[in-house]
Amino acid sequence: MTEKEKMLRGEYYDPQDATLVHLRENAQNLMNQYNHPHGEDKGRLLDMLFGYHAEGLSIRAPFYCDYGINIKVGRNFYANYNCVFLDVARITIGDDVFFGPNVSVITVNHPIDPIKRRQGLEYAEEIRIGDNVWIGADVTVNPGVTIGDNAVIGSGAVVVKDVPANVVAAGNPCKVIRTIEPGRE
């Protein structure tokens, strides 16, 4: 099994594998162009980075990611300035989702075991974000988290566990504050 296959399966993998280094360098090149104030067509660069065209996509530069190809966004996704997507595993984001500035979506993790950590191994867990979600400024979404449809995540939250649909959640660690009644708020 290749290191890329291990990475995508959530197993320990070597991030210094030549194929993975090449893929990250390609993403870095595209991001450098995207983040340059007078860069090329930003929509085309995102299409190249993600490997597909997302309808209504708007991401304010600067924007950073590891690979780009592991990010799947739905229609009308908006991310404000300085968002970071460490997409070692898949990041799936639904339709009509809004991110405030400085949001970090982190799929990669390092081993707890110091021997494995010294070996330079990593692993990753997929993140899923539903439709109609609003994530406030300075939020960190940790590996393996699912955020349900219509959820609102308050600024500064650190999301370490799944957040159900139709709730407002905030804090460190992020906790549900109240439910949302769609159409009544």
Active site residue 110: yes
Which residue has 């191994």 as its token pair?
Answer: 121
- What element of type H or E holds 19? helix 18-35
Which of 160, 163, 155 has the alpha carbon at shortest distance from 139?
155
Class of residue 47 by CB neighbours under 10 A (exposed 0-12, middle 13-18, buried 19+)? middle
Residue 26 three-state SS: helix
- For residues 72 and 93, is the Cβ–Cβ distance under 8 A? yes
Which of 158, 114, 109, 121 has the alpha carbon at shortest distance from 136?
158
| Tokens read off for 96 | 């009509």
| Tokens read off for 156 | 């500064």
Q: Which residues contact 84 (CB under 8 A, 6 or more apart)?
A: 64, 65, 103, 104, 105, 106
Choose the catalytic residue: 22, 36, 53, 110: 110
The residues carrying an active-site annotation are: 110
